[in-house]
Every structure is written in structure tokens, then in C-alpha cells.
Chain A
Amino acid sequence: MRALMLVCTLVLTTGCTITPWVAPYERQYLADPIMGFEQDPVAARYMNHVYEAREAARGAEGGSGGGCGCN
């Protein structure tokens, strides 16, 4: 925690900023459809459905995102 506070203080006092380290033109691999967490919503939802009906655990399924954030 101390280290985190130190880093925050340094960032705030020195004006350092972290810049995005993967530029839009470097996202060709992430833009590939196979890089989506789930390629087919209708199929992914159904499997979550199967699991939730037969297992006590629920929630935090996520998984619809992925890819590069670009079309």
C-alpha cells in the first residue's frame, strides 16, 4: 500500500502520465474475431444458462467483450 501511495504521489507531483501502450494501428491481432471472449452471444448465453441452472454459483460470467474496440 505504501508503495502504491508513493507511485501515486510521484505521478501527481511530477506530472508523469501513462500513455496507452497499444496504439490503434497495433491491434490487428485483437481485431480478429477469434479474439472475442465469446464469438456467438446466443450460444454463450445458453451455456451460462445451463451452468447456472445446475450449479449453485452464479454471477460474474462476463465474457461478452474482447477484441480491439474497433470495427
Chain B
Amino acid sequence: MAVTRLIARSAGLLLLGPLVAVAAVLPEERADVMYHGYSGGGVTIDGPSVLVRKNLGNSLSLSANYYVDMISGASIDVEATASEYSEQRDEFSLGADYLVDKTSISIGYTNSSENDYEAQTLAFGISQGFFGDLSTIGLRVSYGSDDVFRNGDDNFAAEAQHRRYSLSWNQILTQKLIAELSVETVADEGFLNNPYRSVRYLDAASGTGFSYQAEFYPTTRNSDAISVRAKYRLPYRAAIKAEYRRYADSWGIAADNMEFRYTHPLKEQDEWILEGKIRYYQQNNADFYSDLFPYLNATSFRARDKELSNYTTLALGIGVSYELPQRWSLLNRRNTINLYWDHILFDYEDFLDVTVHGGSTSINPGAEPAYSFSANVIRLFWSMRL
């Protein structure tokens, strides 16, 4: 179901994650096998992710990633207008990084597939270390092309394209402080809404006082984001990270998020590394978003996607990494077992809980309580440095 289209759309990003790494060295050779799970708001999404990165010679690094999302349940907007469903999204990524002196060149390809959504992304990046390797500047571009379908409607087919341009500047500031500035522009074009989702409008003829009609979004969306992050090594062996991002787009959404993270190894040998974090996010609604439109076809564009509403999220996370003793390590390499748990609170201001009408309540449309929910996110993975 295209409810996961946003996930598919981000596929290009996943591929080029290492691009902004410090330029003068190839990314670390490693293999990771992860189980990931998201559970909240009536939906469970989980599955495996396998990532392998290996060098060929001294200047070429190849990577491959297989990622699966298995989705089941019914989120609140599905619950209101449809029934539970389950589906699977498979994603394959291949990447190559080529190092020439202090320049790193990267290319990548990602394919994401589900029963009603196909996405392909090509990406290219270049990064350059300079100023005695105190500075690294990275540029990357990606192009994604999606085919959108609707289950149960053989006559429906649509397309969307996504172009992303980003620039990052990584800077060593002192012996204990490193910072990074990133900017990214994204341009989307085509069918950008969810073919299943509906908006609601006041309808006196309906028993509940409202009815539903299909969403209708603009066919273009341009966004800009700028972020700054820094990491500082404390006087004892531990590190803190701070990050801030500002976002704005042509749909009228502006958002900010801030994160603090604390990393604390328990022993010099890194046997145990503990981590804690807090992240806060807030956004305002899109210009054409409304929880309840006054009548049918009230506006040219219309959305009731809660991700386009006015809301905040607060995430708290803890994690632990344990390095296996030599006698248990596979292939005589450095092996770690890692477990991270994040608890995220979603608090919507103008997305109301219409499920209250399922009971015997006599609440008027628009007077329902605001929706909120919490989600748990698990990352359990085994890593081996090759």
C-alpha cells in the first residue's frame, strides 16, 4: 500500500549515507545484520536489514544493503476509512566509493518494491578533504523515479520524480570538537499524495455529521533544510552530540528538530558502550491541510494526512553495545552485539481522533479529542568489522 511511499522515497538517501564521511579514507569494512521494529499507532513495521561493505584494493569500497519492511495493522486513518492490511516492502541498494588522494567519489543505486509502489534511485556524490584534513566538503545529487499504483483499481497508475541536492561541510574545530553544516534541497514532482487516503468534510446528511472524499495534493513540492551538528569529547572518555535542523517547504510547512546524545564507554577496551538521547521535533501544518473541511470540494488542494498537520514529537532513546570476547568472535574479527530502544511520543494539535464516533458518543464533528500516540522503535544488530 502506498502508505509506505514516504519510506520508499527516502531510499536514495539510505544509499549515500557514507558519502559525507571524512574524505581521505574509505568507509570502514564491516558487515551488519539488523532486526528493526517499529510499533505504535496500531501499526507494526519490522524486518531485517543486512549491510556489507568491503574494500577492493586501497581505493575502492563496495557496499550492498538488503532491507525489508513488513507492515501490518491499521493506523488511525486506515482504521477510520478502511480495514487492516499487511504488506511487504523490499529494498536493495548497491554502492561504490572510489578514493583518489583526498577526493572520494560515490555512486549508488536503490530499488524499492511493494505491491503498489515501485521506486528507483540513482545517486552521485563527491567529497574532498582539504586544509590539512581539518575540513571536508561533500556534494551529492540523487534522482528518484516512482511508479504508483492502487490495489483494487487496475485503471490507476501515476508517476513521481524526486531530485535531491545536498552540500555538507565537516570541520575539525579543536582537538576535542568536530562540527558539520549540511544543507539540502529536495524537489518532488508528480503524484505526491496517497491514493488511499481521504479528507473529511461536514455533511449534515451523514449520520456522523461528516463524510469523506479523496485527498488531492499539488503536483510539486520543493523543500530546503539546513542543519548543524557538533560532537565534543568530554574531559573523561565520553562524548556528547548536539544537532539542530530547520526545514521549510513550498507547502507551507516549517519544522525544527533538536537532538542531544551522550555516549559513554564503560571500559577502555570498549567492551560496553552506553548511549542515551533525547530528540524534539515540531512542525506546523501544510497550507491545504484541514482536519475537517466545511463542505465537499471546499478547496483546490486538500489533505488530512496527520504528517502534514501541526504536531510535535518527543523521542527518548537508550542503547548498549557489547563487544564479544575474543573466544566468541566470528572469524577472529571484532564482533559487537547492539541494542537500541527509542520511545517516541506523537502529539497532534489539529488532527482529531474520529474513532470516538465508533462508539455511542454524540460528539459533534470537530469537537473530537486531539489524537496522540506513542511508538517503540527497536534496533537489534550484530556487527563485524571485516
Contacts and interface: CB of A to CB of B under 8 A. Distances in A.
Interface string A53-68: 1111111111111111
Given A22-B134, A30-B172, A66-B178, A43 B233 contact: no
Contacts of B286: 56
A63 B180 contact: yes
Interface in A1-49: 19-24, 26-27, 29-30, 32-37, 39-49
B136 A43 contact: no
Interface of A: 19-24, 26-27, 29-30, 32-37, 39-71
Nearest to B138: A65
A60 B226 CA distance: 6
Nearest to A44: B17
21 contacts: A22-B172, A29-B175, A34-B263, A40-B383, A41-B27, A41-B51, A43-B381, A47-B379, A52-B6, A54-B307, A54-B313, A54-B346, A55-B307, A56-B308, A57-B225, A58-B223, A58-B247, A59-B164, A62-B168, A69-B23, A69-B25
Contact of B25 (A19, A43, A57, A71): A71
Contacts of A48: 10, 13-14
Interface string B248-264: 01010101010000010
A29 B255 CA distance: 34
Contacts of B182: 60-62
Interface in B255-302: 255, 257, 263, 265, 270, 273, 281, 283, 286
A22 B338 CA distance: 33
B379 A43 contact: yes
B147 interface: no
A55 B313 CA distance: 9
B340 interface: yes
Contacts of A40: 32, 338, 381, 383
A32 B237 CA distance: 9
Contacts of A42: 32, 34, 49, 51, 65, 381, 383
A56 B9 CA distance: 12
Contact of B21 (A29, A39, A54, A64): A64
B17 A49 contact: no
B185 interface: yes
Nearest to A63: B229
Most B CB contacts (10 A, CB to CB) among A39, A48, A58 go to A58
Given A20-B131, A42-B32, A67 B22 contact: yes
Given A43-B338, A46-B379, A59-B225, 17 more contacts: A21-B134, A22-B172, A27-B172, A30-B176, A40-B381, A41-B18, A41-B27, A49-B10, A55-B257, A56-B251, A57-B281, A58-B186, A62-B168, A66-B170, A66-B180, A69-B129, A69-B133
Contact of B183 (A49, A57, A60): A60
